[in-house]
Amino acid sequence: MSSAAQRRTTPLGILTRLAAVCLAGLLLAGCGVNAIPTKEEAAKAAWAQVENQYQRRSDLIPNLVETVKAYARQEKDVLTAVVEARAKATQTRIDASQLSDPAAVQAFQAAQDQLSGTLSRLLATVEAYPDLKSNQNFLALQSQLEGTENRIAVARRDYIEAVRDYNTELKTIPGSWWAALFHPEARPMEAFTATPGSQTPPKVDFGQ
pLDDT digits (tens, 9 = 90+) for 194-203: 655 444 444 4
Q: What is the pLDDT of residue 7?
A: 47
Q: Which residues of 45-64 are buried (b: 16+ CB within 10 A; e: fewer)?
A: ebbebbbebbebbbebbeeb
**8 A C-beta contact, residue 203 and residue 123:** yes
One-letter amino acid of 40:
E
One-letter amino acid of 16:
T
CA distance 53 to 152: 5
Q: What is the pLDDT of residue 179?
A: 92
Q: What is the pLDDT of residue 110?
A: 96
Q: What is the pLDDT of residue 24?
A: 44
Confidence label for 122 from pLDDT (cuts 50, 70 and 90): very high
pLDDT one-digit tens code per residue, 92-115: 999 899 999 999 999 999 999 999
Percentage of the chain surpassing pLDDT 70? 78
Residue from 153, 162, 149, 157 nearest 96 by CA: 162
pTM: 0.78
pLDDT one-digit tens code per residue, 167-186: 999 999 999 999 999 999 99
DSSP letter, residue 202: P
Q: What is the pLDDT of residue 10?
A: 67
Residue 12 reports pLDDT greater than 80: no
**8 A C-beta contact, residue 169 and residue 175:** yes
Cα 162 to the center of its chain, rounded Å: 8
CA distance 69 to 76: 8
